[in-house]
Structure formats: structure tokens, C-alpha cells
């Protein structure tokens, strides 16, 4: 096995015991980029020489007994919405083509302090306002979408061109590409990971989190990101937290897993439903108690998501939308212009709906510890596909289909973890998401880790 094929935890263990050096690992990842980047297009900016310098520095520090922890010497990618000092943050848009970050974002600074090696900035759907990331190709099938908006981050990790990467998630933008590329994607509790230095899409819905190959890897990265910063008023005043995962055979005795009886299995591809229901059975075999629950206020989910996101995004882009509208991609420009038509009353009604929905979901969690549901209703679509037809005769756009099952966790701010649970007839990955109570990342990580103990991480074709 080549070093770039190792999971983060495997690579970290090898570096700690000095059977693998950060320089060897980084060179392996850079070699992998040379081999696959031209066809996958995960990165918008690469930092090869800077990464080599950082890896050499990490190697010297470790040799001098200065090991900082499991991220020391690990090559990673940052979604190009996240500032890293001295590098462009373009949000994959011509609008920000000349932008150069003057300082690290909070999360980039923390990864640097942990000894991480930044390989480059990964593509996003322009300004994170979409679910496909059209520049980037799926790691499993290059004729299919990567998912979005953190598609570049997902493909980089799936293809072995980063040991982990960070993304942002406003309506599913970490979890959707994670599901479509056979990865683990974690959207933490709203405010748990600070967003200072991250380009905003919708300030009341935006989250930052990791994309990794395993749940164990996600726990390692999350541990380095948590903690408030004064520059982000929404960041929660929680102490830095570690998320250790128990070793063993995946015993889930005493855990109550919610099985949705509505919404999450409506208009879902049969293979996706079958894989997730089989995963439910496997969780029960590990000792979990399966509890059927009704998802509240489902008819308001998409109206609330769009009612919050669209006007907030338009407000963020008000100046440039007026001064350089021609620089936006057509699909993003249409959405931003549509936001100017949302009234203050509609926005306030969406805020009220979110409050009621969050209260209803918290009441539902009185009966369960985690909810287990499909991440997305279908696997990766072809790059030219724009709509989906369902057996009930209904159709919806690809973006609406992908956001439909992931949006509730953004509206409510609850932690949600997507992990692979199988493949469809074409060999494409299928994802299941585990949603928990506020600040109970440990519960969703424990549940996901128990499942993956029996299901090794999925590797895409070379």
C-alpha cells in the first residue's frame, strides 16, 4: 500500500512511530496529485513547495521529540471558501479572482498549530451556492458529479490527494459529496467550529467540518477544530474537546436509534433505501434499540431552507451583484437575483419556522439518541442531468433532490454525520446520515464508528 492510500489514523500512527516520515507521506500525496488531478480537478490552487517545506519542518520537529499529535505532518486540503494566509481564496469564482488572504481563518490556524501540511485549496460550487461542483469529477465515475458544494474536498480525500480536507455545509454541502464519493462527512453542531475567515453563504446556516475516509479520522480532525473565537459571534463558548472513540467490537447496547417513518424514505431510490435499511438491521445486531419516529414539520423543510438561505446569500453579495454581475456563473447569479425578491416578512416567517422546527426536533430526540436516515435520495447523477423523475410521477431538480434530506440538520443546527453503507448496481457509493442532539457529536461518531468496524472504508477505482 502506498502512503497516500492510508487513512489519516493509519498515517498518523506510522508517523508517530517513525516508520513513515511526513516528507515521505507528502511526496506520495503530491505524486498522486500528478497522476490524477488533471482528470479529477479537485484543486483550484496547489501549494506543493510550501507543503514540502511544512513537511520537512514537521519531520524535524518530530525527530526532536516535538510531536504535536495525530495531525502533525498530515497533508490536507481546504475548501476554497476558507482563508489560509498568503493563498488566494477565490470561492471558485471570477468575482474573487484577485483575492489573497492576509491571515489564516480560525480553522486553518488551528490545523497549522496541530502541525498539518496544507496541500492546496479545493474547488467549490461557486460561492458554495450549489450541489454539483461542476469543475470537479466524481472519484468513482468521471462522467458523474462530485456533489457539492464541497466537491473538491471530497474528491481530494477519496482519490488520495489529501489525507483529510475541510468543507462548509449550508444545506448539505459536506454530507452530499461525502455520500456521493464514499466518504465520511461531518457537519458539527451550529457554532461548534468557528467560521472566522470563511466566506459566508448564509450566516445562520453555514457550518465548517471535515471530510475523511473514516469516522475515526473525522473524530481526530474535529478535535483540532473545536473552540470559540471572539471574531465569530455565533461560535459556542465551549471548551476545546477531544472525541476519543472506544476500541472493540462495536457494541451499541443501550443506544436508541430513530428510524423515520416519514419523509426520509419518500422519493428515494430503491437501492438507497435497501442499503440504509440493511444498515439499520446491522446497528440492531450491535445492540442498538430501533425506535420508529415521525419527523415533524416536514412540509416546511424546503421552504424554510430556501427562505433563510436565499436572502442571506443575496445580502452577502449585494455590492458585487450590482457592480460585477457578469462575473458570476449563470446559475449562481439567478439565485442571488432571486433573493432580492424575498420580502422581509417571508424571511421572518422562515426564522419563525426554524425556531418551531428546532423545538419539535428536540422533542423528538427525547425518545432517541441518534436518527439514522439516507444522506441523499440517489447516488451521483450524470454531469449533464438536471432533473430526477420518481415512481410517483413527480419530478424535481437535481439540486432540490440532493438538498431535501440534508437540509433539516442545517435548519435545526444539529450534528450530522454521513458515512458509506453500500453501493448501487453501478458500483456508486450510498450514504447514511446519523443526526444527534446539539453538542452530542460523540454519540453520532460512536455510532458511525461502531458501524464501520465491520465495514472497511471504501476505495474508489484507481
Scored b (16 or more CB within 10 A) or e, 132-167 reads bbbbbbbbbbeebbbbbbbbbbbbbbbbbbbbbbbb
Would you call 160 helix, strand, or coil by DSSP? coil
Q: Are 432 and 279 in contact (CB under 8 A)?
A: yes
Provide the phi-psi class of 203: left if phi over 0, else alpha when psi is between -120 and 50, else beta: alpha
Contact 61, 68 (CB under 8 A): yes
Q: Is the pTM of this model over 0.75?
A: yes
Point out the least confidently predicted range of 28-32, 127-131, 144-148, 451-455: 451-455
Cell of 433: 446520515
Q: Cell 467549490 belongs to which residue? A: 124
Instruction: Give the pLDDT band of residue 436 (cuts 50, 70, 90).
Output: very high
The three-class DSSP label of residue 298 is: helix
The C-alpha cell at 289 is 434499540
* Residue the block writes with cell 462548509: 168
Q: What pLDDT, on the 0 to 100 scale, is given for residue 108?
A: 98
Residue-wise burial string across 290-304, b where 16 or more C-beta atoms lie within 10 A, e elsewhere: eeebebbbbebbbeb
The DSSP line for 226-269 is: -S--TT-TTS------------SS---TT-EEEEESSSTTTT--
Q: The C-alpha cell of 34 is what?
A: 500528478
Helix (H, G, I), strand (E, B), or coil: what is residue 396?
Answer: strand
CA distance 161 to 69: 21
pLDDT of residue 462: 67
Q: Report the pLDDT value the prediction gives residue 458, as an integer from 0 to 100.
A: 78
CB distance 310 to 342 below 8 Å: yes
The confidence band for 461, taking pLDDT boundaries of 50, 70 and 90, is confident
DSSP E strand boundaries for 68-138: 75-79, 117-122
Displacement of CA 220 from its chain's centroid (Å): 15
Instruction: At 115, list the grid cell.
Output: 502541525
Alpha-carbon distance of 412 to 189, in angstroms, equals: 9
pLDDT at residue 62 greater than cutoff 80: yes
Element (H, E) at 285: helix 270-285
- Judged against a pLDDT cut of 80, whether residue 103 lies above it is answered with yes
Nearest one of 169, 143, 163 to 151, comparing CA atoms? 169
Is residue 80 within 8 Å of 171, Cβ to Cβ? no
User: Which pLDDT tens digit goes with each residue over 233-286?
Assistant: 999 998 778 898 887 678 999 999 999 999 999 999 999 999 999 999 999 999
- Angular region, 69: left φ>0, alpha ψ -120 to 50, beta rest: left
Cell of residue 174, nine digits: 459536506
Cβ atoms 451, 436 nearer than 8 A: no
Hey, which residues are catalytic here?
Answer: 79, 149, 173
For 68-99, the pLDDT digits (tens) are 999 999 999 999 999 999 999 999 999 999 99
Output the nine-digit C-alpha cell for 20: 513513515
CA distance linking residue 455 with residue 462, whole number of Å: 20
322-344 pLDDT tens trace: 999 999 999 999 999 999 999 99
Contacts of residue 356, Cβ cutoff 8 Å, sequence gap at least 6: 297
Query: From CA 148, how far away is CA 329, in angstroms rounded?
Result: 15
C-alpha cell recorded at residue 28: 506520495
Q: How many CB atoms lie within 10 A of CB 5?
A: 14
Amino acid at each position: 500500500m502506498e502512503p497516500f492510500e492510508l487513512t489519516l489514523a493509519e498515517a498518523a500512527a506510522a508517523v508517530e512511530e517513525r516508520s513513515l516520515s511526513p516528507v515521505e507521506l507528502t511526496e506520495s500525496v503530491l505524486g498522486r496529485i500528478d497522476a490524477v488531478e488533471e482528470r479529477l480537478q479537485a484543486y483550484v490552487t496547489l501549494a506543493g513547495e510550501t507543503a514540502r517545506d511544512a513537511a520537512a519542518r514537521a519531520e524535524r520537529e518530530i525527530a526532536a521529540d516535538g510531536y504535536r499529535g495525530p495531525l502533525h505532518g498530515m497533508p490536507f486540503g481546504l475548501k476554497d471558501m476558507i482563508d489560509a494566509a498568503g493563498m488566494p481564496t477565490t470561492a471558485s469564482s471570477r468575482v474573487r479572482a484577485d483575492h489573497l488572504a492576509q491571515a489564516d481563518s480560525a480553522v486553518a490556524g488551528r490545523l497549522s498549530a496541530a502541525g498539518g501540511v496544507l496541500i492546496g485549496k479545493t474547488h467549490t460550487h461557486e460561492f458554495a451556492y450549489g450541489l454539483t461542483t461542476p469543475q470537479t469529477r466524481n472519484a468513482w465515475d468521471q462522467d458523474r458529479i462530485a456533489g457539492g458544494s464541497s466537491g473538491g474536498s471530497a474528491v481530494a480525500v477519496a482519490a488520495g490527494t489529501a489525507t483529510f480536507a475541510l468543507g462548509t455545509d449550508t444545506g448539505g454541502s459536506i454530507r452530499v459529496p461525502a455520500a456521493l464519493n464514499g466518504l465520511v462527512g461531518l457537519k458539527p453542531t451550529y457554532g461548534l467550529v468557528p467560521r472566522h475567515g470563511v466566506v459566508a453563504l448564509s450566516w445562520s446556516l453555514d457550518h465548517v467540518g471535515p471530510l475523511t475516509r473514516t469516522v475515526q479520522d473525522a473524530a481526530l480532525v474535529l478535535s483540532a477544530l473545536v473552540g470559540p473565537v471572539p471574531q465569530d459571534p455565533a461560535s459556542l463558548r465551549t471548551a476545546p474537546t477531544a472525541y476519543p472513540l472506544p476500541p472493540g467490537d462495536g457494541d451499541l447496547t443501550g443506544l436508541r436509534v430513530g428510524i423515520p417513518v416519514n419523509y426520509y424514505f419518500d422519493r428515494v431510490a430503491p437501492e438507497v433505501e435497501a442499503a440504509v435499511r440493511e444498515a439499520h438491521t446491522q446497528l440492531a445486531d450491535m445492540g442498538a434499540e430501533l425506535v420508529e419516529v415521525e419527523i415533524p414539520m416536514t412540509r416546511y423543510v424546503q421552504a424554510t431552507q430556501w427562505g433563510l438561505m436565499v436572502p442571506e446569500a443575496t445580502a452577502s453579495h449585494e455590492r458585487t451583484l450590482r457592480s460585477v454581475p457578469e462575473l458570476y456563473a449563470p446559475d449562481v447569479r439567478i439565485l442571488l437575483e432571486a433573493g432580492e425578491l424575498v420580502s422581509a416578512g417571508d424571511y421572518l416567517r422562515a426564522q419563525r419556522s426554524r425556531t418551531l422546527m428546532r423545538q419539535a426536533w428536540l422533542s423528538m430526540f427525547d425518545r432517541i439518541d441518534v436518527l439514522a436516515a439516507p444522506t441523499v435520495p440517489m447516488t451521483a447523477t450524470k454531469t449533464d442531468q438536471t432533473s430526477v423523475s420518481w415512481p410517483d410521477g413527480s419530478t424535481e431538480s437535481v439540486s432540490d433532490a440532493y438538498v431535501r434530506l440534508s437540509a433539516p440538520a442545517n435548519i435545526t443546527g444539529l450534528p450530522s454525520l454521513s458515512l458509506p453503507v453500500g453501493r448501487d448496481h453501478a458500483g456508486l457509493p450510498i450514504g447514511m446520515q446519523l443526526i444527534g442532539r446539539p453538542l452530542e457529536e460523540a454519540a453520532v461518531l460512536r455510532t458511525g464508528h461502531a458501524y464501520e468496524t465491520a465495514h472497511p472504508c471504501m476505495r474508489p477505482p484507481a
